[in-house]
Amino acid sequence: MGLPTVAIVGRPNVGKSSLFNRLLSRRHAIVSDVPGITRDRLEAPCRWRGREFLLVDTGGLVPGDPEPLVVQVRRQAERAIASAHAVLFVVDAVTGLTPQDEEIADALRRGRRPVMVIANKVDTPALAANAYEFHALGLGEPIMVSATHGLGIGELLDAVIGILPDSVLAEAPEETVGVVFLGRPNVGKSSLVNALLGEERVIVDARPGTTRDAIDISLRYDGRPVTVIDTAGLRRRSRVVAGVEYYSTRRTHDALSRADVAVLVVDAVQGITDQDQRIARTVYEAGRASVIAVNKWDLLSGYTPEHIHRVAQQELRFLGEVLVCLTVAVRGEGISHLMAAVFRAADARATRIATGPLNRLIDEAVRANNPPANATGRHLHIYYATQPTTKPPAFVLFVDDPNLLTDGYRRYLEGRMRATFDLAGTPVRWVLRRRRPPAPARTTR
C-alpha cells in the first residue's frame, strides 16, 4: 500500500516514543526516562477507523548541538519531516514552553507540512490549563493527550486521519522477504544496511550500542519486496544489564521472529567468536534461514575467500550448508552477492519436495549406506517419507522404531538431501513416526 506518512517529532524526553506506542496500541519503541533513547527513525503502520497510515517515531531534536551523534539523530528527524504528509510536534505540558520548542516550531513552519502541536503528559485539569501556553508557537490549538494513560488518543487519531490523503491500494499484495541483520556490537550491521539502501538510513557511530530499537525498512531489490530489519548488537546474556540494553535485546529477538532470513554479520578481523556461534544457533533453533556476512574482510591479509569459506563452514557446521558472503560495508562492496544469497536462502526455506523424488532419495541413501545396528543388532527400517510443511522444510520419516535413528545417520540423510536439493542456508527439521510393518499377505489353499 502507498500509505500517507505521519512523523512524530520534538525535543528529547517529551514522550514521543510513548505516544508512538500508544497510537499503535503496542510496545514497538523502547521507552525510558533517560533522554536520547530513540535515535533512528522507527516506522510502523497505524490503523484507525478503517484508515491506515505509516507512523514514524524520531529521536529528540536538539537544534544547534554540534556533537556528531546528536547531528545524525537530527538529520534522521529532518528526513522524516521532509517525507511526511503530516507532523505531530510533541511538547511537554509539565515542563511548559521552552526555547528549544520555539526553535523547532520555527523550523517546522518553514517545512510547509501540516503540523499538529501535541501537548503530552496532560494527566490533570491543572495541566490542561497550562497547556494553552503552546498557542504561542503559532501552529494552532494544541491537542492535549496523556500517552501514558491513553487520554485524548482517540481525538488525536480522528484529527490525524481528517487531514491525511487517502491511501493508494496496490493491485495485489506480494510476499515480502524479511531480512534481519544480527551480530555482536560494532561489527558493521548498520553500515551494511545503509550500503544496501544506498543512503544513511540508520545511524552509524564507532561507539557500540548506537542502535537500540529494531528498525524495519521496506524496499524493493531486484524486483522483490524486502523488509530489512536493523537490530542492536547481541552480547552474552550474562553481560546484558537491565534497562535499555535488556529491551534492545528483547526487540532483537522479536525481530528474528518476524524474519525469513537472518544475516549474521561477523567481524573478519576478530573471526567467528563463541557469541557469533550462539547467535547462529539461536537463528537455527528459531527455524530461520541464515547468511553469514564476513564484514571488513579487506583488513585481512594472507587469507583467500576460499579459506574464509572453509573456516566458516567448519565453525558453523551445525547450520548445514553455510552461505558465506565477503563484504566491506563502508565501501558498499559485496552487497549484490549478499542479497543473492539472502534470496537463495529464503527460497530454500520455502522449498517443497514432492513425495516421489523424496522417497527415491531416501531409498538410494539407505541402499548406499544402511542404518547402523544398535546394541541388540536391530537396524532402523524406513518405510517412506513425506514433507508436510515448509519454512523451514520439515520431513516426516515413517519408521519401525524412532529410537533406532542415530544422530550420525540423521546427519548422513540430511547431507544427501542437501547434495540433491538446494537447501543452502535453511535449517531442516526431521520428525519420526512409528509405523507397524505391513502384515504378510494371506495365502489360500
CB 323 within 8 A of CB 291: yes
Q: What is the pLDDT of residue 63?
A: 74
Q: What is the pLDDT of residue 229?
A: 87
Q: Which of 109, 140, 163 is where one domain is finished?
A: 163
| Least confident window among 82-86, 104-108, 173-177, 254-258 | 173-177
Query: Are both 320 and 194 inside the same structural domain?
Result: yes
| Least confident window among 10-19, 23-32, 418-427 | 23-32
Burial of 104 (C-beta count, 10 Å sphere; 0-12/13-18/19+): buried
Query: Are both 397 and 253 inside the same structural domain?
Result: no
How many residues are there in the chain?
A: 445
CB 374 within 8 A of CB 401: no
Report the CATH number at residue 325.
3.40.50.300
What is the domain extent for residue 369?
A: 355-434
Question: Which uninterrupted H or E stretch holds 76?
Answer: helix 68-83
CB 51 within 8 A of CB 167: yes
What is the chain's mean pLDDT, rounded?
84
- At 190-227, the pLDDT tens digits run 889 888 988 776 654 445 444 555 678 888 899 999 99
Q: What is the mean pLDDT of residues 359-388?
A: 91
Question: Quick check: is 169 in a domain?
Answer: no
- At 138-151, the pLDDT tens digits run 888 899 999 888 88
Q: What is the pLDDT of residue 438?
A: 58
Query: Are both 41 and 189 inside the same structural domain?
Result: no
Residues 58, 68: Cα–Cα separation, whole Å: 17
Q: What is the mean pLDDT of residues 403-429?
A: 93
Tally the domains of the chain: 3
Q: Is the pLDDT of residue 237 over 70?
A: no
Cell digits of residue 65 = 548541538
Q: What is the pLDDT of residue 335?
A: 94
Separation in Å, CA 125 to CA 150, 198, 329: 15, 49, 53
| Least confident window among 174-178, 188-192, 193-197, 252-256 | 252-256
Residues 329, 297: Cα–Cα separation, whole Å: 10
Question: Quick check: is 442 in a domain?
Answer: no
Q: What is the pLDDT of residue 437?
A: 60
* 248 vs 231, higher pLDDT: 231
CB 16 within 8 A of CB 60: yes
Query: Are both 189 and 284 inside the same structural domain?
Result: yes
Q: Is the pLDDT of residue 235 over 80?
A: no
Query: Are both 181 and 139 inside the same structural domain?
Result: no
Q: Cα angle at 288 between 284 and 291, to 5 degrees? A: 85
- At 311-331, the pLDDT tens digits run 999 999 999 889 999 999 989
Question: Quick check: is 326 in a domain?
Answer: yes
Query: Are both 344 and 370 inside the same structural domain?
Result: no
CB 315 within 8 A of CB 278: no
Q: What is the pLDDT of residue 179?
A: 94
Query: Are both 383 and 274 inside the same structural domain?
Result: no
Query: Are both 200 and 54 inside the same structural domain?
Result: no
Q: Is the pLDDT of residue 363 over 80?
A: yes
**Confidence band, pLDDT 50/70/90 cuts, at residue 342:** very high
Q: Which of 282, 316, 349 is where one domain is finished?
A: 349
Highest-scoring range by mean pLDDT, 18-27, 191-200, 380-389:
380-389
Residues 330, 191: Cα–Cα separation, whole Å: 6
Q: What is the pLDDT of residue 33?
A: 46
Residue type at 218 in one-letter notation? S
| Least confident window among 116-120, 243-247, 397-401, 427-431 | 243-247
Q: Is the pLDDT of residue 75 over 90?
A: no
384 DSSP β-pair partners? 398
pTM for the full predicted model: 0.68
Query: Are both 35 and 153 inside the same structural domain?
Result: yes
Q: Which of 137, 163, 189 is where one domain is finished?
A: 163
